[in-house]
């Protein structure tokens, strides 16, 4: 890190004590910014970098609700409105027991840069709760969502803050949240949430967008080497929304997807993952990946615990969660001949893993570039809501593909310009930082 950035980073550590994931996300960006402050020291003059690390607003609230046994449960809700310099705060809600302020801040910080990369007018924010939807009935999830929105609604608005889904928040939760927002405000304000159902203001391709976009990005990376996904052996971690649609798009492009995972372990299916079966287990029955393996029979095996990155592949798509791919896993992937790693999740590779990829022949793309298809399609949903229109699947997918190609090229060109060809981390961080910082400078000290 450039020594002029060190005191700013130390202050971030001090002001956000104990928030390890947030520190990690800031550090990664600062490491890339060394080349910027070397060339353009004026970015150190007007407090832009300090201001960028401090959320514009942070909301923490109580979420009381009654479970099916009639017991009162209390969770904690969060919304970190990080930056509205390019548009209304935009970013998902995560419902998972690991959620605390440090996770929401890391996600919100990443979202600023990711959203800038899309080229669409959206700022950065993130929210969520330590509520665990696993094993909860629909009624419990509904009552939780209603209580969550009873507080959050006063901070939202189509020009103010527009949440969507993330881990633990899908179509069901967005439905309950939108219903409660509409009821409390007496406004049918479609553009206040994205990821809505297709019959009530949702966009085609939004469900598929993050996974599809990640695969599109990986294909663009391959194309810089004169290759494509056809016939490639692919491993996708996770089995939630991002993983499922990454598998689908990779298969459509002729790849052979052999493994996926959940928190209990991973499955290897040498015949290729049977997506319809996986969707039935995960999306319809809300079951576990072990069920998929036992129902598939002898050619498919389930490994309890262990690391999915032990499975040899050409292309690895980490689509589960933060810090799921460490240095050891990276070295295993490299030794097994993996050539492309594109992050479908947010920050799944640890800093040590990214370093290992950087000193190998692997091309690595960070989530803020490779998984931006989800939020980009959310912005397309907002466009459709604002114009009271709805687009076809084909048209929306074309827009998504063009946006992903644009992000890929923007990152690759910036990396080249700053003397680090093929460094998508540097390209993504520098290119988005410059856009955000220039807008902040134009607005004065606010
Ligand atoms: N949670 C997704 C992300 O990490 C999507 C956010 C959105 O659509 O607003 O980018």
Looking at the fold, whether 17 and 62 belong to one and the same domain comes out as no
User: Is residue 399 included in any domain, yes or no?
Assistant: no
User: Is residue 304 included in any domain, yes or no?
Assistant: yes
**Is residue 166 within 6 Å of ligand 1 at its C-beta?**
yes
**Is residue 104 within 6 Å of ligand 1 at its C-beta?**
no
Helices (H), 224-320: 241-252, 275-279, 289-296
Q: Of 132, 154, 189, which one is at a domain's C-terminal end?
A: 189
- How many domains, in total, are found in the chain? 3
Q: In whole angstroms, what is the distance from residue 43 CA to residue 419 CA?
A: 19
Looking at the fold, whether 245 and 344 belong to one and the same domain comes out as yes
Predicted pLDDT of residue 446: 92
| 330 in Cβ contact with 356 (< 8 Å) | yes
**Is residue 221 within 6 Å of ligand 1 at its C-beta?**
no
Report the atom number in ligand 1 closest to the C-alpha of 114: 10
Looking at the fold, whether 254 and 229 belong to one and the same domain comes out as yes
Q: Of 189, 224, 255, which one is at a domain's C-terminal end?
A: 189
Closest Cα to atom 9 of ligand 1: 91
User: Is residue 389 included in any domain, yes or no?
Assistant: no
Looking at the fold, whether 170 and 242 belong to one and the same domain comes out as no
Q: Of 122, 155, 189, which one is at a domain's C-terminal end?
A: 189
Looking at the fold, whether 43 and 76 belong to one and the same domain comes out as no
Predicted pLDDT of residue 130: 98
**Is residue 346 within 6 Å of ligand 1 at its C-beta?**
yes
User: Is residue 344 included in any domain, yes or no?
Assistant: yes
pLDDT tens track for 375-434: 999 999 999 999 999 999 999 999 999 999 999 999 999 999 999 999 999 999 999 999
Looking at the fold, whether 213 and 325 belong to one and the same domain comes out as yes
CA dihedral 422, 426, 432, 433 (to 10 degrees): -160
Residue of 403, 408, 397 whose CA lies nearest to 206: 397
Question: Which CATH number goes with the domain that contains 429?
Answer: 1.10.285.10
Looking at the fold, whether 316 and 280 belong to one and the same domain comes out as yes
The count of residues in the chain is 446
Looking at the fold, whether 136 and 13 belong to one and the same domain comes out as no
Looking at the fold, whether 28 and 70 belong to one and the same domain comes out as no
Assess whether 90 carries a catalytic annotation.
Answer: no
Predicted pLDDT of residue 46: 85
User: Is residue 8 included in any domain, yes or no?
Assistant: yes
User: Is residue 406 included in any domain, yes or no?
Assistant: no
Question: Which CATH number goes with the domain that contains 233?
Answer: 3.40.50.720
Predicted pLDDT of residue 444: 94
Q: Say whether pTM exceeds 0.85.
A: yes
Cα(42) to ligand 1 centroid in Å equals 32
Looking at the fold, whether 137 and 223 belong to one and the same domain comes out as no
Catalytic pick among 90, 126, 196, 282: 126
Question: Which CATH number goes with the domain that contains 113?
Answer: 3.40.50.10860
Q: Note down the domain range covering 64.
A: 57-189
User: Is residue 371 included in any domain, yes or no?
Assistant: no
User: Is residue 376 included in any domain, yes or no?
Assistant: no
Strands 89-95 and 72-83: unpaired
Q: Read off the DSSP letter of residue 284.
A: I
Mean pLDDT for each 10-residue chunk of the chain (446 residues)? 95 98 98 93 91 98 98 98 98 98 98 98 98 96 98 98 98 98 98 98 98 98 97 97 98 98 95 95 90 87 95 98 98 98 98 97 98 98 98 98 98 97 98 97 94
Looking at the fold, whether 45 and 74 belong to one and the same domain comes out as no
The SS3 of residue 94 is: strand
Predicted pLDDT of residue 217: 98
Looking at the fold, whether 61 and 74 belong to one and the same domain comes out as yes
């Amino acid at each position: 890190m450039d020594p002029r950035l060190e005191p700013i980073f130390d202050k971030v550590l001090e002001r956000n004590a104990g928030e390890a994931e947030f520190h990690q996300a800031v550090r990664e960006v600062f490491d890339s910014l060394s080349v910027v402050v070397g060339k353009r020291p004026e970015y150190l003059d007007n407090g832009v970098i300090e201001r960028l690390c401090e959320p514009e607003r942070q909301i923490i609230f109580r979420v009381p609700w009654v479970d099916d046994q009639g017991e009162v449960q209390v969770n904690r809700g969060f919304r970190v409105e990080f930056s509205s310099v390019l548009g209304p705060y935009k970013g998902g809600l995560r419902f998972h027991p690991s959620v605390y302020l440090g996770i929401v801040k890391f996600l919100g910080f990443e979202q600023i840069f990711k959203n800038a990369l899309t080229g669409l007018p959206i700022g950065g924010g993130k929210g969520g709760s330590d509520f665990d939807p696993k094993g909860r009935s629909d009624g419990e999830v509904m009552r939780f969502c209603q209580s969550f929105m009873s507080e959050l609604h006063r901070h939202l608005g189509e020009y103010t803050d527009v949440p969507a889904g993330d881990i633990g928040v899908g179509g069901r939760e967005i439905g309950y949240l939108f219903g409660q927002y509409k009821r409390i405000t007496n406004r049918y304000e479609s553009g206040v949430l994205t990821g809505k159902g297709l019959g009530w203001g949702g966009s085609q391709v939004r469900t598929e967008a993050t996974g599809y976009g990640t695969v599109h990005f990986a294909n663009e990376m391959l194309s810089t080497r004169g290759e494509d996904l056809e016939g490639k052996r692919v491993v996708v971690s996770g089995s939630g929304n991002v993983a499922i649609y990454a598998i689908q798009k990779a298969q459509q492009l002729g790849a052979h997807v052999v493994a996926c995972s959940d928190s209990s372990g991973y499955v290897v299916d040498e015949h290729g993952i049977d997506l319809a079966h996986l969707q039935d287990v995960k999306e319809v029955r809300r079951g576990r990946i072990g069920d998929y393996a036992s129902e598939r029979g002898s050619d498919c095996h389930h490994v309890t615990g262990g690391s999915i990155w032990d499975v040899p592949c050409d292309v690895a798509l980490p689509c589960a969660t933060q810090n799921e791919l460490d240095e050891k896993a990276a070295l295993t992937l490299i030794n097994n001949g993996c050539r492309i790693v594109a992050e479908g999740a947010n920050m799944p590779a640890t800093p040590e893993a990214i370093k290992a990829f950087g000193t190998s022949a692997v091309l690595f793309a960070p989530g803020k570039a490779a998984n931006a298809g989800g939020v980009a399609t959310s912005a397309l949903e907002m466009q459709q809501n604002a114009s009271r229109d709805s687009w076809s699947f084909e048209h929306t997918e074309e827009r998504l593909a063009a946006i992903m190609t644009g992000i890929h090229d923007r990152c690759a060109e910036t990396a080249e310009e700053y003397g680090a060809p093929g460094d998508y981390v540097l390209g993504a961080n520098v290119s988005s930082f410059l856009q955000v910082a220039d807008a902040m400078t134009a607005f004065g000290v606010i």
